[in-house]
Amino acid sequence: MRHVLALVLTLWPLTTRAEDLTVFAAASLREPFEELGLALEKSTPGLIVRFNFAGSQELRAQIEHGAQADVFASADRKHMAALEKLSLVAGPRIFARNQPVVVVPKGNPASVRAFADLPKARRLVIGAPEVPIGAYTLQILDKAGRHDLSVVEQAEIKVLEEYLPAAASEDDIRKAIEEAVQETGASSIKDMGKVMKAALGRLTGKSADGSRVSQLVKEKLS
């Protein structure tokens, strides 16, 4: 079954340095956006493109907690609409479309060759419902009349979520970095390693995106 994913782009009021362009983008866009970033830097002398890649729901939470960006590229309309309702973004536009695929283990032991073959699989692995691709997958299963598979997957996800550590908020990360800087006496980007170690230590017990922590540490020490 073909299902189209809508990716949404919006421009954020420029709040960073004039020579910086900060882009928050869904993790699935990492490779093409990094290529675009290099091309843009090459064609625009003095411009530095800074990326923050994560799940769209996580990026939305970061923006809601005050994180600043010039561009937000979401993997669905849901999270973009929530930010637009809060007047945190403006003028979203669809700039790309995607199509979900089923990936099987090497050798395809269950002989899954079509959507109808999914019940043959011993185990299905999908994204969490909060992640766009996870929500779309559950919609696909429901619309295909495989509500049974959808229910099983949601039940397993719920069990896993009970054992996963809570996600660190943007405020949690910034507080940990601030305390780490004070603890280590860091004063320049050369101290980034010890600040990262101290900050991540303070976030023990919570799930934190390492790339986001790294980005915020760089901003703090720059």
**151 shares its domain with 180:** no
82 and 158 fall within a common domain: no
Q: CA-CA distances (angstroms) from residue 172 to 58, 59, 131, 197, 212?
A: 13, 15, 21, 15, 12
Assess whether 64 and 29 both reside in one domain: yes
Residues in the chain with pLDDT values less than 70: 1-18, 130, 144-165
Q: Identify the residue whose tokens are 């283990």.
A: 105
Task: Please check whether residues 131 and 215 belong to one and the same domain.
Answer: no
Looking at 123, 140, 163, which one is the last position of a domain? 163
Strand (E) or helix (H) holding 9 = strand 5-11
Tell me: do 142 and 71 sit in the same domain. Answer: no
* Judgement on whether residues 93 and 9 belong to the same structural domain of the protein: yes
pLDDT of residue 146: 66
Structural domain count of the chain: 3
Clarify whether residues 67 and 151 are in a common domain. Answer: no
As a whole number of angstroms, the distance between CA 177 and CA 187 comes to 13
pLDDT for position 207: 74
What is the torsional sign of CA 144, 147, 152, 154? positive
pLDDT at 8: 43
Residues 87-141 have pLDDT tens digits of: 999 888 888 887 778 888 899 998 988 877 877 877 777 777 767 777 777 777 7
Is position 40 within any domain?
yes
- CA dihedral for 214, 16, 34, 47, sign (positive or negative): negative
Does residue 187 form part of some domain? yes
Q: Does 93 lie in the same domain as 40?
A: yes
| Listed residues 163, 181, 199: the one ending a domain | 163
Query: Angle formed by the axes of helices 147-163 and 132-143, to 10°?
Result: 150
Q: What is the pLDDT of residue 149?
A: 62
pTM above 0.85, yes or no: no
CA distance 182 to 175: 11
How far apart CA 1 and CA 144 sit, in angstroms, is 8
C-beta separation of 93 from 58 below 8 A? no
Q: Which domain holds residue 212?
A: 166-221
